[in-house]
Chains A and B, each alone.
Chain A
């Protein structure tokens, strides 16, 4: 069964450093999402892509976060500089792109900022 791939699975960094996370969606999925999940909370949407275009980045802290999906396939989420409050699980999800499709989640990247 096809899965969403994410790397790295764990990342420890120091405050003010730059970090990047990578996501490879299920093959053929046009829509890609990045979510952040703080311990004890549900995931919160950061950004949604349709192919290479941003559909919704209203919750992305654009002063330090950036996301790209240049060729409409895999995607990178970057934080620069990282802050202590960024410690969380970063989840990637993809869907085929039809209206109201199921979103399939990857295993996530656990970020710890020291």
Chain B
């Protein structure tokens, strides 16, 4: 079975600060990795995803994440956050082998950006 661990439940930063949200997963096979974001009052939406290839992936709104296979990690980064980045962030994985590919989510990180 897969599991995902997000290290911080709540993070508070000032505008222009750098961001790194930790994500570790547990699974022995091939995985696909995702970061989803939920802005206040909105649906879950995809920030970025990793399936294969370059382990450094770039997503929307200046976010990026790096897949480090040896550490089972997929940390999310942004060099300079904005007030509009205030949201709930979820790391997720699924089986990259095809077939049943429901997502396994972490518990989420609530990010608050102070102006």
The bracket for how many chain B residues form the interface is: 20 to 34
Stretch at the interface among B61-69, B72-80, B104-112: B104-112
List of A residues within 8 angstroms of B51 by Cβ: 100
Is A45 in contact with B102, judged by CB distance below 8 angstroms? yes
Given contacts A42-B90, A100-B32, A100-B96, contact A33 B49 (CB under 8 A): no
Residues of B within 8 A of A (CB): 4, 32, 34, 36, 43-46, 49, 51, 90, 92, 94, 96, 98-108
Residues of A within 8 A of B (CB): 3-4, 31, 33, 35, 40-45, 48, 55-56, 91, 93, 99-100, 102-108
List of A residues within 8 angstroms of B36 by Cβ: 105
State the total of A-B contacts with C-beta under 8 angstroms.
Answer: 56
Which residue of chain B has its CB nearest to the CB of A95? B101
Is B105 in contact with A42, judged by CB distance below 8 angstroms? yes
Partner of B43, one of A31, A102, A105: A105
List of A residues within 8 angstroms of B49 by Cβ: 102
Is A55 in contact with B32, judged by CB distance below 8 angstroms? no
How many Å lie between the Cα of A100 and that of B106 in the bound state? 19
List of B residues within 8 angstroms of A44 by Cβ: 105
Taking each of B45, B49, B90, B105, which has the highest tally of chain A beta carbons within 10 Å of its own beta carbon?
B105
Is A99 in contact with B98, judged by CB distance below 8 angstroms? yes
Is B108 in contact with A105, judged by CB distance below 8 angstroms? no
- Counting from the closest, the 10 A-B pairs by CB-CB distance are A42-B105, A45-B102, A56-B100, A105-B44, A99-B98, A48-B102, A105-B43, A100-B32, A55-B100, A43-B105
List of B residues within 8 angstroms of A43 by Cβ: 44, 90, 103, 105
Which residue of chain A has its CB nearest to the CB of B94? A100
How many Å lie between the Cα of A41 and that of B32 in the bound state? 21
Which residue of chain B has its CB nearest to the CB of A6? B43
How many Å lie between the Cα of A45 and that of B45 in the bound state? 16
How many Å lie between the Cα of A33 and that of B105 in the bound state? 14
